[in-house]
Structure 1
Amino acid sequence: MHHDTPYQPPLRSRATRSFAARSKSSVRGFLFAHLRAQDRPRQIIYESNLERRVLLTFLARRDLVDIWDQPTAIPFATSGGTLRHHTPDFLAFLDTGLRLAIAVKPQASVERLRFREELAQVRGAMSPAYADELLLVTDADLNDADVRNAELLHIARHTVDVDAIRTICTFLADLKGARTFAEVLEQSGLAERGWAALICAINAGEATIDPGRRIASQTLVYPRGVK
């Protein structure tokens, strides 16, 4: 099949600082995501596996419009009067207009480094023009099933085809009761081809699953509005 639209490479990361490519203590890398604010996918970097997990959960949010990795640093003064700079890990833009600066840190490090005190100083110095809120997200805030589902969604978005989406949405519109993932795929006629479409449709609100339940072949799918 020939496409009229010529290939365009993904947009580069907007990060204001880069990271060392090799590290003995953390997983560093990047992914590509097509956000509503851009006309094609963009590279987004992360500096740890925890940051990757947090990023995936934000990318799965239906109200997310854009997310900026390693945005502009925020200058702030310590309690001793020393000028320092804090670079949030992400700056998320929601469709409500809300802007969320996000600091990601392991819970153990938060306690050991008294990180909440530092963030309080950063929050006090942050301009309202920069963000509406400064959030701390730790590993304790993440649900493993939600993160795994967000990862599956990220993969699905890169592999789904338009015809499968139409078919699965039509099937879900007529769904009267709960069905397992396997049953939906079989009864829709899509079989394995429908995995990505079903995951994307659920994220779009065409159907629901039990909150906190990991997506698998026996996961129950409910009609829209039931759960």
Structure 2
Amino acid sequence: MTTYEDDDFYRPPFPTVAGLMYPARSKLTVRGFTLAMTPAENYWRQIISASQGERETCLLALAMPSLWNLFDQPKPVSFVDENGRQRTHRFDYLAEFKNGHKVAIAVKPAERVERLNFKKTLKAIKRDLPFGFADTVALVTERERNKVEVRNAELLNFFRRCPDQDADSVIGELIDALFDEVPINELVQKSGQGARAFRAVFRAIYAGQLCANKREHISLNSLVAPGKGRV
């Protein structure tokens, strides 16, 4: 009997779990989405973003080896502002990590943060966070996002959508025998897997099996070394 998992039919990704949907286009937002499969879920789903900054932040979060799950536009939280007024705020993302730690993420342009004095508002929001919602909050502007890291994270997300257990296994064996840093091209050549091996090495870097400078474009010439997550 053929199971759902065993067939080769195309399965569309699950829809977003966002609590708020932006219009596809407005004066303030341009909605898009990123396909993601988090360690907590065994399926692909959409994660929406209302700006390029949100999309970049989403990709960087998904690339973190310690990430367990990522929720877009979680339920709003109530807080009391500096004037004593009751207000609500909806974070852009809620990141849950493998150690159980949860971080509520606000994504805004730096200019807007300064103009609205948003750091002061965020301090009040953090003070009034409901129990169990998040352990802390994080503000992400363009100053915290490295463009090269974003590009690498985007490639990682693409390579994750092309799983290849055979190539991963071959690269894993080469990593087990590795004791010093080598260029990625050396691993690719030894594997005999060609481009499949490069994608496997890329995944191994973000799984912690290999160390590499993620603030440089990861290419065949990049140097990698055994990582702490090597099995």
Name the counterpart of 2:97.
94
Q: Which runs of 5+ in 2 are unaligned?
A: none
Q: Cα distance 1:4–1:25, how it changes in 2: closer, same or farther (>3 A)?
A: closer
Give the corresponding residue for 2:127.
Answer: 124
Matched-pair contact (CA < 8 Å) for 2:22–2:29 = no
Q: CA deviation at 1:171?
A: 1.4
Within 5 Å, which residues of 2 pair with 1:55-94?
A: 55-94=58-97
Aligned pairs, number: 224
Q: How does 1:185-224 map to 2 (within 5 A)?
A: 185-224=188-227
Asked if the contact 1:168/1:188 (under 8 Å) is kept, the reply is yes
Structure-2-length-normalised TM-score: 0.89
Report the equivalent of 1:14. Answer: 17
CA drift of 1:4 comes to: 6.2
- Alpha-carbon distance in structure 1 between the residues aligned to 2:224 and 2:41: 31
Identity %: 35
Q: Contact conserved, 1:10 with 1:42, CA < 8 A, in 2?
A: yes
Q: Which residue of 2 aligns with 1:103?
A: 106
TM-score (norm 1): 0.90
Alpha-carbon distance in structure 2 between the residues aligned to 1:62 and 1:223: 15
**Structure 1 residue runs without a partner (length 5+):** none
How many Å separate the matches in 2 of 1:137 and 1:15? 19
Distance 2:75 2:179 in 1: 49
| d(CA) in 2 for partners of 1:218, 1:24 | 43
1:47 and 2:50 matched: yes
Contact 2:152 2:214 in 1 (8 A): no
- How many Å apart are 1:70 and its aligned residue? 0.2
Structure 2 match to 1:174: 177
Amino acid at match of 1:54: T
Of residues 23-32 and 124-133 in structure 1, the stretch that sits farther from structure 2 once superposed is 23-32
Distance in 2 separating the partners of 1:23 and 1:153: 30
Q: How far 1:181 moved relative to its partner?
A: 2.0
Deviation digits for residues 51-70 of structure 1 (CA, Å, limit 9, x no counterpart): 11111111111111111100
Aligned-partner Cα distance in 1 for 2:174–2:3 = 28
Counterparts in 2 of 1:3 and 1:198: CA distance versus 1, 3 Å = farther
Residue 156 of structure 1 deviates from its aligned partner by: 0.8
What letter is aligned with 2:185?
A
Q: What's the CA shift for 1:82?
A: 2.9
What does residue 164 of structure 1 align with?
Answer: 167
Cα separation, 2, equivalents of 1:224 and 1:38 = 25
CA offsets 1:77-114 (integer angstroms, 9 cap, x no match):
22233332100000111111111111111111111111
Once the two structures are TM-superposed, the CA of residue 163 in structure 1 deviates from its matched residue by 0.6
Question: What is the aligned-residue RMSD (CA, Å)?
Answer: 1.9
1:159 match: secondary structure: coil
Q: CA deviation at 1:208?
A: 1.2
- CA contact 2:70–2:95 (8 Å) conserved in 1: yes
